[in-house]
């Protein structure tokens, strides 16, 4: 009976599939659309990441908190020009750019445009970077997928995705030159200046603002469209400032009521509310009540279109303006006035090197290089070693003692500290401050600098203090 019962149970178990050959595995049905989208996101991130950089802006007014302002940017050409937001770099006296591979290079501010919050930097030093290209933000449609890459909260190469939520958003009515793309891709502190990319890997915006109650991501971010950025960047590089056209008019939207009363075919265009006497529009015969529907051959569907077209046209340019007056279409050729934005160059230009020493990149005073590193040094005399409490640590070692490190210098950013002993500069042994300064004096801004440094490394099992040699690498600003 016992055997029969066991066999019966075994039979039922086999019938039910027990014992199982393996734990059950969930088999999701293939989703070609989702797989293709995931692959597209990954491809954009991989192609763009090397051109996206972290920017650290340091200076006396930025010394608190995280040690300076941080932001993002992206390389746009082989010359090392970087696009970012002006508010990231405007107060800086020193700029450090960290590349995707961790390399840190100094940079200088070429120029900035306060009206669009766009700035262009220039790398000092050599870097082989595949630049990003601008796409056509005007061709974007609401609902299209986009990818944001940047350094939120200092976390380099962070990739987020979302869609274009809206276009032509104005967040400050006093500045109609900033007509943003709105996106729900996550944008946080540190993303400023980073690229917003389409799925072709093209830059279609520069991440600039967020709408938030507490300063963190809340689903609403704003990027300045590439249609605006491209022209601003071109002028900043070529001229150092931005020239815009001025008509001397105040414009407003065309309401449906106005369109019906004045016999317009639709409510598209820019309604001229006021014309300033002596301005370009006045001289061309435009008057209050006229509705501009085309500028330089491009359609004007709203007052924002006209403002954007004027901003993208250098001043003193002859263009055709088509408009309606009393329901009748007409056109006029006029010459715009020039409105030049104030140049923003808060940093002193510095010498550069491209590929090798250049004739104007002269060695600077070693004390100047030392200040730029943010170091104070002294001979490793017995008295100085005793004052810093390292007399027993560097017994028998020759070198230059670090006596002070500026909190906003390159040295501090890379981990150098008071009490460390510099033993070599670019593979050359240094025993005194004079030798150390002499070695610095042979270097130019943009040159590589590698310091061999002896530093404390805890204690031995016997309780004795010990030191280890580390290498600290810089590119001279």
Q: What local confidence, expressed as pLDDT, does residue 286 receive?
A: 96
- Statement: residue 240 has pLDDT above 60: yes
Nearest one of 45, 140, 133 to 83, comparing CA atoms:
133
Is 87 among the residues known to form the active site?
yes
Under the banding of pLDDT at 50, 70 and 90, the label for residue 9 is very low
* Radius of gyration of the chain from its Cα atoms, rounded to whole angstroms: 31
Residue partners of 37: CB distance under 8 A and separation at least 6: 145
At 245, give phi and psi (nearest 5°). -85, 150
205-226 burial, b at 16+ Cβ within 10 Å, e below that, comes to: bbbbbbeeeeeebeebbbbbbb
- Statement: residue 173 has pLDDT above 90: no
Rounded CA gap, 324 and 328, in Å? 5
Torsion sign, CA atoms 34, 36, 38, 44: negative
Rounded CA gap, 298 and 312, in Å? 12
Q: What local confidence, expressed as pLDDT, does residue 157 receive?
A: 92
Q: What local confidence, expressed as pLDDT, does residue 31 receive?
A: 72
Torsion angle, alpha carbons of 214, 220, 226, 230, to 10 = -10
Rounded CA gap, 146 and 137, in Å? 11
Of the chain, the percentage scoring pLDDT greater than 70 comes to 84
111-143 burial, b at 16+ Cβ within 10 Å, e below that, comes to: bbbbbbbbbbbbbbbebebebbebbebeebeee
Under the banding of pLDDT at 50, 70 and 90, the label for residue 365 is low
Which segment, 9-13, 55-59, 444-448, is predicted with the most confidence on average?
Answer: 55-59
pLDDT digits (tens, 9 = 90+) for 100-153: 998 888 899 999 998 899 999 999 877 789 999 999 999 999 999 999 999 998
Rounded CA gap, 107 and 477, in Å? 7
Rounded CA gap, 230 and 398, in Å? 54
Place of tokens 């040699």: 469
SS3 312: helix
Nearest one of 468, 458, 454 to 417, comparing CA atoms:
454
Cβ–Cβ under 8 Å, residues 165 and 146:
no
For residues 6-10, average pLDDT: 45
- Which one of 113, 117, 290, 447 is the catalytic residue? 117
Rounded CA gap, 436 and 430, in Å? 6
Cβ–Cβ under 8 Å, residues 74 and 50:
no
- Which one of 192, 245, 341, 454 is the catalytic residue? 192
- Statement: residue 460 has pLDDT above 80: no
What would the two tokens of residue 108 be? Answer: 């200088």
Nearest one of 205, 209, 243, 203 to 111, comparing CA atoms:
243
- Statement: residue 237 has pLDDT above 70: yes
Pairing of strands 465-475, 448-459: antiparallel
pTM metric for this prediction:
0.68
DSSP 377-423: EEE--HHHHHHTT-TTTTTT---EEEEEE-TTSHHHHTT--TT-EEE
DSSP collapsed to 3 states, 204-272: EEEEEEECCCCCCCCCCEEEEEHHHHHHHHHHHHHHCCCEEEECCEEEEECCHHHHHHCCCCCCCCEEE
- Which one of 72, 81, 87, 113 is the catalytic residue? 87
- Statement: residue 211 has pLDDT above 70: yes
The DSSP letter of residue 101 is T
Cβ–Cβ under 8 Å, residues 416 and 409:
no
Cβ–Cβ under 8 Å, residues 425 and 390:
no
At 45, give phi and psi (nearest 5°). -60, -45
57-90 burial, b at 16+ Cβ within 10 Å, e below that, comes to: bbbeebeeeeebbbbbbbbbeeebbbbbbbbbbb
To 5 degrees, how large is the angle CA 93–CA 411–CA 49?
A: 75
Q: What local confidence, expressed as pLDDT, does residue 342 receive?
A: 65
pLDDT digits (tens, 9 = 90+) for 281-293: 999 999 999 999 9
Rounded CA gap, 22 and 32, in Å? 28
DSSP 330-350: EEEEEE-EEEEPPPB--S---
- Statement: residue 197 has pLDDT above 70: yes
Q: Which of 28-42, 220-234, 296-310, 373-387 has the lowest mean pLDDT?
A: 28-42
Which segment, 150-164, 172-186, 435-449, is predicted with the most confidence on average?
Answer: 150-164
- Statement: residue 308 has pLDDT above 60: yes
Between 150 and 154, residue with greater pLDDT: 150
Domains, in order of start, for the chain:
243-340 (2.30.42.10), 366-475 (2.30.42.10)
Rounded CA gap, 198 and 35, in Å? 17
pLDDT digits (tens, 9 = 90+) for 242-287: 989 989 999 999 999 999 999 999 999 999 999 999 999 999 999 9
Q: What pairs with residue 49 in β-bridges?
A: none
Please return the burial class of 443, using the count of CB atoms within 10 Å of its CB with bins 0-12, 13-18 and 19+.
middle
Mean pLDDT of the chain: 83
What would the two tokens of residue 92 be? Answer: 């800086």
Q: What pairs with residue 379 in β-bridges?
A: 400
Please return the burial class of 152, using the count of CB atoms within 10 Å of its CB with bins 0-12, 13-18 and 19+.
buried
């Amino acid at each position: 009976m016992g055997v029969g019962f066991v066999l019966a149970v075994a039979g039922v178990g086999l019938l039910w599939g027990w014992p199982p050959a393996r734990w059950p595995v969930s088999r999701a049905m293939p989703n070609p659309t989702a797989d293709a989208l995931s692959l597209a996101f990954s491809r954009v991130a991989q192609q763009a990441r090397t051109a996206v950089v972290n920017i650290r802006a340091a200076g006396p007014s930025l010394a608190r908190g995280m040690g300076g302002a941080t932001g993002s940017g992206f390389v746009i050409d082989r010359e090392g020009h970087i696009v970012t937001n002006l508010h990231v770099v405007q107060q800086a006296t020193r700029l450090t750019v960290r590349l995707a591979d961790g390399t840190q290079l100094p940079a200088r501010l070429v120029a900035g445009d306060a009206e669009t919050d766009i700035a262009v930097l220039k790398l000092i030093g050599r870097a082989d970077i595949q630049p990003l290209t601008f796409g056509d933000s005007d061709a974007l449609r609401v609902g299209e997928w986009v990818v944001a890459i940047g350094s939120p909260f200092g976390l380099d190469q962070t990739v987020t995705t979302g869609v274009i939520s809206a276009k032509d958003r104005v967040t400050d009515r006093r500045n109609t030159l900033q007509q943003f793309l709105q996106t729900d891709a996550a944008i946080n502190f540190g993303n400023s200046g980073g690229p917003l990319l389409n799925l072709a890997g093209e830059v279609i915006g520069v991440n600039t603002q967020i709408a938030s109650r507490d300063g963190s991501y809340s689903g609403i971010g704003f990027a300045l469209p590439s249609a605006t950025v491209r022209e601003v960047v071109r002028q900043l590089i070529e001229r150092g400032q931005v020239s815009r056209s001025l008509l001397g008019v105040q414009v407003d939207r065309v309401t449906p009521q106005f369109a019906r009363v004045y016999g317009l075919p639709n409510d598209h265009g820019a309604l001229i509310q006021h014309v300033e006497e002596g301005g370009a529009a006045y001289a061309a015969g435009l008057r209050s009540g006229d509705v501009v529907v085309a500028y330089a051959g491009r359609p004007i569907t709203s007052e924002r279109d006209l403002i954007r077209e004027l901003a993208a046209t250098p001043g003193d340019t002859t263009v055709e303006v088509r408009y309606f007056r009393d329901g009748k279409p007409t056109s006029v050729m006029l010459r715009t006035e020039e409105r030049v934005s104030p140049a923003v160059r808060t940093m002193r230009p510095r010498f550069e090197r491209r590929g090798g020493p250049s004739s104007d990149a002269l060695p600077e005073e070693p004390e100047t290089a030392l200040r730029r590193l943010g170091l104070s040094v002294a001979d490793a005399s017995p008295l100085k070693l005793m004052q810093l409490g390292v007399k027993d640590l560097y017994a028998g070692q020759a070198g230059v003692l670090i006596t002070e490190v500026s909190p906003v210098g390159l040295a501090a950013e890379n981990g150098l500290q008071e009490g460390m002993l510099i033993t070599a500069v670019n593979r050359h042994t240094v025993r005194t401050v004079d030798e150390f300064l002499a070695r610095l004096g042979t270097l130019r801004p943009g040159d590589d600098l590698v310091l061999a440094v002896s530093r404390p490394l805890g204690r031995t099992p016997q309780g004795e203090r010990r030191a280890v040699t580390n290498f600290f690498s810089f590119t001279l600003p």
